[in-house]
Structure 1
Amino acid sequence: MPEAPLLPDLIAALPLPTLVIDRAERIAAVNPAARALIGAHTVGRHFVTVLRQPALVDAVERCIEDGQGRQAQYLASEADKDVTFDVTLRPVAGAGLLIVSFQDITHQAQAGQMRRDFVANVSHELRTPLTSLMGFIETLSGPARDDAAARDRFLQIMQTEAGRMNRLVGDLLSLSRVEAEERVRPTRQINLAEVLQTALRNLNPLAVEAGVTLRPDFGCDPLPILGDADQLLQVFTNLIENAIKYGGDDRPVDITGELSLRDPMLRGPSVRITVTDHGPGIPAHHIPRLTERFYRADSHRSRALGGTGLGLAIVKHILNRHRGRLRITSEEGQGASFCVILPRDVVVSDAL
């Protein structure tokens, strides 16, 4: 084993934060990455005063006792963000040294938590309609078997709940497909104006039923971009449908378009499509989280209107695939605006 003076040079070559504990249970060497993690002036101090966290301290003590390697976790905070490290402890046989290295597994931990949250949210979203269906089936099989009025009312409710589950499953499948394609850049040139016109035509019956006037203003010229027409149709259908539902009956919805030769957000040519309603608006503290899966600013109203809580998450992933952005602005009582910013990755020869 190299002499102690060589230890700092050896572990300095390691990319992971690493420290060495000697026979006296004191820190013998620390590389720069570990110094940034646990602090300066740690060499010579007892490991308990440096590592502190009970689970890691216990793992070190056990390694010193039996000479067996172990794994532990270490939690830290960097720039107001929690960081999780997987700690590997390996004794050096015959040298009386214990090498402790830290690997940042924050992304894996967050991914695991996201999966658990996703399963919990899906289970929660499905439990309510399933419970309702099971209750009504039981009632129709027993007390309401011969009650025609109750049967018709219950069947209507069951149809609504089944539709809710169907929409949720559809959105989950859509989200899965979008995520699978997120890293594949679109290569086909499309006319965004035609996509918008299709979305408006499809949603016009819903707008008429709600007494909402759709007011498009994106000109008559084509808006050529590289994109997936079906996915972008899903984006604008979602945004315009939300504006119709949440903007309030008998209030207009504006759909405007704007071209830019150098967009400050994309640092290049862009097209901005903004969908604006004139409803109650969205409280400011909800806006940063609106694109999270299953997040709702108004859970009761969203469910009542058939929302699944996945629409804006799907929008975000589609725009990520197109290297676009979604900018949400709102003032309570003054409505909300959802601005889609897409790059124009085409050679413009038709003087838009």
Structure 2
Amino acid sequence: MHSLRWKITLNFLTLLFLTLLGAYLYLHQAILKALGLPWLPPFRAGLLAARLEGQLLAVMLLVLIIMGIGTFILARGIITPLTALLPLTRRIAAGDLEQRVEIQSDDEVGLLSHHLNIMVETLRNNFREIADERNKMKAILASMTDGLVAVDQVGRVIMLNPAAEKMFGKKGAEVEHKYLLEVIRNHEIDAMVKEILASGLPLENEVRLFPTTSQLFRIYGTPITSEQGRIIGAVLTIRDITDIRRLEQMRTEFVANVSHELRTPLTSIRGFVETLLEGAHKDPEVSRRFLGIINHEAQRLQQLIEDLLYLSRLESQPQRQDSGGSNLVATLDRVLTTVNKLARDKGVVLEKEIPAGIPELAISEGYLNQVLLNLIDNGIKYTPNGGRVTIRAARLGELVQVEVADTGIGIPPESLPRVFERFYRVDKARSREMGGTGLGLAIVKHIVETHGGSISVTSRPGQGSHFFFTLPIAAEERRRNNYQEEPGI
């Protein structure tokens, strides 16, 4: 700024000097002409014009002083407002966009100040928009359940979203500017990123990120390009598809199991019908026996279809809490009456150990009947002659736990985690012989869980099994208990 001030002053003084020099020469010539003398250079004019020249020089010196003062004032009027802008521009350059220039004139400096204020306001609005967009992007990335990893053009990590941090157990700040292979340690993904950066084409792959687990991930990779079309990085989206693949496998197994379970009785029915048609019907004894088998298989087929439909309805229903309640003792008595003949025929003793005061349960009577019937019927079928099936109940806070214990053949330890799966049987031949569809325990599990309860089993081969399920107490029963427990009641 000081150099600008001196440049303006120097240029003005130079112009003034040249002007005064020209004026001096002009006046010198005019004086000689007025005296009737020929033109002479100033240094040879002699005494003829010495006095006049002295006066002229005095006047010129006075004019020079006045012009110098004017030049200083003019330069100060231009430089001072510009000097006042310097601290402001420094603060703006440092990022302080709240500063504004005070406009004190309508000249070019005032116009410059006005446009500088407009520029600062525009910059502030642009930075605010950028900050808003950055916050939106952070919120979007934080809400993603899929992991997201961004790398630069040489494969160094530049960003991880929270889901990716959770997957790899590392914070984004810890892995920034590290090569992807150092972070993920998976050569398939590293090769995939290199191919994306080299070809500029999106890729998709399914990999196991961690060799010690069975988790399966689907990786979507896309290149990042600049405005000029140059590849400057890549983005990977990582989705855990373990559950999806497990569900697909379960669906495939379910279809295969249903097909097998339907085909088995149909094959049996068809075989006996063909035998009868080929002439076996002429023997009444054979006909009666074959028709009995056909009837049994048809009933099993009907029961299988009904169980499938029932299970399908259960699975399509959301979790529910019945507004009413069911009396456990009354429902259990009806179930025991239903299975009493089956137990008597097998020589199995049914025992009931239900303490007084068991509250009503938050489940409809029909569903509770289905749960008890399936568990008790299951216990009778797998308990040999002379054994027993015992039903117990106890209150556990806001829940009631029911136990159905038998002294039957038991369940091997390796089969315990799967007994509630659809169509799973510990002994398939024995189960079919007893008329089971393989869906009873799956139905029980769905009923209990959709009513806010849980179910489990413990067993030892040769010593019997113990099935436990819990259900919440009915809402009306809870309100009544809370009222009675209030102080002063």
Which residue of the partner structure matches residue 90 of structure 1?
222
Structure with the larger helix share: 2
Rounded to whole Å, the distance in 2 between the matches of 1:221 and 1:207 is 28
1:44 deviates by 4.8
Does 59-68 or 294-303 show the bigger shift? 59-68
Rounded to whole Å, the distance in 2 between the matches of 1:122 and 1:65 is 49
- 1:336 partner SS: strand
1:293 deviates by 1.3
Rounded to whole Å, the distance in 1 between the matches of 2:286 and 2:191 is 64
- 1:205 partner SS: helix
Which residue of the partner structure matches residue 238 of structure 1?
374
- Change over 3 Å in CA distance of 1:326–1:19 after alignment to 2: closer
Which residue of the partner structure matches residue 205 of structure 2?
72
1:33-52 equivalence runs, <5 A: 33-34=163-164, 37=167, 43-45=177-179, 50-52=185-187
Which of 237, 243, 260 does residue 101 from structure 1 map onto? 237
Contact 1:215 1:254 in 2 (8 A): yes
Which residue of the partner structure matches residue 399 of structure 2?
270
- Paired residues, number: 332
Rg larger for: 2
Which of 409, 427, 437 does residue 308 from structure 1 map onto? 437
Rounded to whole Å, the distance in 2 between the matches of 1:156 and 1:59 is 64
Structure with the larger strand share: 1
- Change over 3 Å in CA distance of 1:33–1:251 after alignment to 2: closer
Higher RCO structure (Cα 8 Å, ≥6 apart): 1
- Change over 3 Å in CA distance of 1:17–1:270 after alignment to 2: closer
5+ residue gaps, structure 1, are 1-8
- 1:247 partner SS: coil
Rounded to whole Å, the distance in 1 between the matches of 2:440 and 2:249 is 21
Which of 281, 300, 307 does residue 171 from structure 1 map onto? 307
Which residue of the partner structure matches residue 282 of structure 1?
411
Does 312-321 or 323-332 show the bigger shift? 323-332
Rounded to whole Å, the distance in 1 between the matches of 2:167 and 2:309 is 41
Rounded to whole Å, the distance in 1 between the matches of 2:193 and 2:286 is 68
Letter in 2 for 1:70: L
Contact 1:279 1:335 in 2 (8 A): yes
Does 201-210 or 219-228 show the bigger shift? 219-228
Which residue of the partner structure matches residue 150 of structure 1?
286
Which of 310, 317, 326 does residue 455 from structure 2 map onto? 326
Rounded to whole Å, the distance in 2 between the matches of 1:131 and 1:42 is 64
1:101 deviates by 1.4
- 2:449 partner SS: helix
Contact 2:152 2:234 in 1 (8 A): yes
- 2:208 partner SS: strand
- 1:235 partner SS: helix
Q: What TM-score comes out, normalization by structure 1 length?
A: 0.82
- 2:217 partner SS: strand
Rounded to whole Å, the distance in 1 between the matches of 2:331 and 2:209 is 48
Contact 2:220 2:238 in 1 (8 A): yes
Rounded to whole Å, the distance in 2 between the matches of 1:83 and 1:134 is 45
5+ residue gaps, structure 2, are 1-134, 485-489
- Change over 3 Å in CA distance of 1:61–1:45 after alignment to 2: closer
1:225 deviates by 2.1
Rounded to whole Å, the distance in 2 between the matches of 1:213 and 1:36 is 55
Which residue of the partner structure matches residue 277 of structure 2?
141
Contact 1:11 1:18 in 2 (8 A): no
Letter in 2 for 1:178: L
- Change over 3 Å in CA distance of 1:22–1:219 after alignment to 2: closer
- 2:326 partner SS: strand
1:58 deviates by 6.7
Rounded to whole Å, the distance in 2 between the matches of 1:28 and 1:284 is 47
- Change over 3 Å in CA distance of 1:33–1:224 after alignment to 2: closer
Letter in 2 for 1:150: V
- Change over 3 Å in CA distance of 1:325–1:10 after alignment to 2: closer
Letter in 2 for 1:112: E
